[in-house]
Amino acid sequence: MRNDQRYAAINDGRTYPPLTREQAGKVTKALLRHFGSPEDAAMRPTYALRLDQSGRFDEGTRKATRAELAHIWRRYTDRHPSGARRCWVSASPSTGHAKGWGRLIHDVSHMLHEYRHPKERPHGHLHAGIEQAVQAYVEAQGWLQPQPKPVAASVSDRRAARLMRLETRLVRWECKARRAVTAIRKLKRQITATRAHADLTCAV
């Protein structure tokens, strides 16, 4: 595949940014939703014989379903909760198809290729076009752009946030205390009334 000119626009030595497993799972789901229309997939046999107009038995066909694409995706990811493969993760910038973004794009294109053309070999003549489309979409979405690092909160901001949490907890406990006082007062009245009724009953 490295020397295949069909992949020249993809294997051009570009450097991809780091990628976490959580990000990879979200991106994969978005790609499969975008490219996984049953309208773009080959018809499937129904494996049920029926009579055609000439009276001969004919094997029926049906449209592909998104459930079939989901099955392919789960097979690739071994049903991991993140929905991503370990080889898609890259803690540092990566190149090629060994890991990271390059591997994710390549594997997703194989999922789509298998879904759309189940009878064609994995690197058939239609696969490169799918991978190029996936690559172009990933770039168009801006997913490969450097993400700004989160700004660390200042000491004063952390103290203000802690103060807000403490005040919220205080209000909550004060509400509980008022309810407790009300409940105790009510129970004392009930106890007093019950004792008076019991004394009256004994006196009679």
pTM over 0.75: no
Count the alpha carbons within 13 Å of 192 in the hemisphere toward its beta carbon.
Answer: 6
CA distance 158 to 176: 27
For the chain, give every domain's residue range. 5-140, 159-204
pLDDT tens per residue, range 46-96: 765 555 566 665 567 889 999 999 999 999 999 999 999 999 999 999 998
CA distance 38 to 67: 10
pLDDT tens per residue, range 155-198: 888 899 999 999 999 999 999 999 999 999 999 999 998 888 87
Tokens 């998104």 belong to residue = 66
CA distance 64 to 43: 6
Give the tokens for residue 42.
């080959």
